[in-house]
């Protein structure tokens, strides 16, 4: 194993103070990627203001610009993100974990490992609070994918977190002929937001752009709801407890094996 590969595999994450990043989530993504391009492994645990985030593929909808303007006028800006997938609601009660780090591997070959690595960090944090999760697709949930974190068994499982990743190629040393990428891996965790509000906002926007998508409230669950369903008391500071658990797991994590 080469020294450069070893240094990438055994790096730990540096937690970034949210105040050190731009308030615009998309500019913050660029700032995290810039650090990964420079060879750093960084983590950001954050909460966005009331908003929606959609992939750039939504630009195919003719009504997108008008819909974004209408939602911004209501105090709910709609951001265009780098990664793929679908619409994601943001706002109070929804925590985000962003990991950015360098990768030495052909494009996409570590995609599954990166998703599993991210899911394990979030799942371990939730497990420490008494919420057991696993990864699976949850039909009817927003931005569905097979690396959702889900709570509950089989077909009754509900989405508690969504994940996404984005790869960017960057220059690499002449002594190493393998491509070097910066990867941004991102999780959106429903902590104590209102699932009814989440789905109403998401469905209203999808209807306005005539995408044909519609999401179901009963296909998602928050950490607070999962605790209640398991007959645990819901701490008044549940959001801060979840944030602290995420931070602790990030501090203990190393990068995915490459």
Kindly tell me the number of DSSP H helices and DSSP E strands found in the chain. Answer: 7, 10
Report the C-alpha gap between 148 and 160 in whole angstroms. 8
Told to judge if 76 belongs to the known catalytic residues of this protein, a careful annotator would answer no
Paired tokens of 143: 């931005």
**Backbone phi and psi for residue 235, each to the nearest 5 degrees, phi listed first:** -60, 145
Paired tokens of 107: 């494009």
| Residue tagged 């999780």 (tokens) | 187
List, in sequence order, every residue forming a beta bridge with 170; answer none if it has no partner.
180
Hey, is 44 helix, strand or coil? strand
Strands 158-170, 149-151: pairing kind? antiparallel
The residues annotated with a catalytic role in the active site are 143
């Amino acid at each position: 194993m080469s020294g450069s590969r070893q240094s990438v595999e055994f790096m730990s994450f540096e937690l970034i103070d949210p105040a050190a990043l731009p308030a615009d989530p998309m500019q913050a993504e660029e700032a995290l990627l810039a650090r990964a391009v420079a060879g750093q492994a960084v983590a950001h645990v954050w909460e966005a203001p009331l908003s929606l985030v959609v992939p750039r593929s939504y630009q195919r909808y003719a009504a997108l610009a008008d819909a974004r303007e209408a939602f911004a006028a209501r105090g709910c800006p709609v951001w265009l993100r780098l990664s793929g997938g679908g619409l994601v609601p943001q706002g109070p009660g929804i925590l985000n974990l962003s990991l950015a780090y360098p990768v030495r591997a052909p494009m996409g070959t570590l995609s599954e490992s990166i998703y599993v690595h991210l899911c394990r960090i979030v799942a371990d944090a939730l497990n420490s609070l008494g919420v057991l999760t696993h990864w699976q697709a949850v039909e009817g949930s927003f931005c569905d994918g097979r690396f959702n974190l889900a709570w509950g068994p089989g077909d009754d499982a509900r989405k508690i977190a969504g994940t996404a990743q984005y790869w960017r190629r960057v220059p690499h040393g002449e002594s190493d002929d393998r491509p070097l990428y910066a990867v941004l891996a991102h999780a959106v965790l429903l902590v104590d937001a209102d699932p009814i509000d989440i789905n109403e906002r998401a469905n209203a926007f999808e209807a306005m752009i005539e995408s044909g998508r519609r999401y179901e409230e009963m296909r998602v669950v928050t950490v607070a709801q999962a605790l209640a369903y398991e007959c645990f008391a819901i701490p008044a500071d549940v959001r801060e407890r979840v944030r602290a658990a995420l931070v602790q797991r990030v501090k203990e994590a190393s990068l995915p094996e490459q």
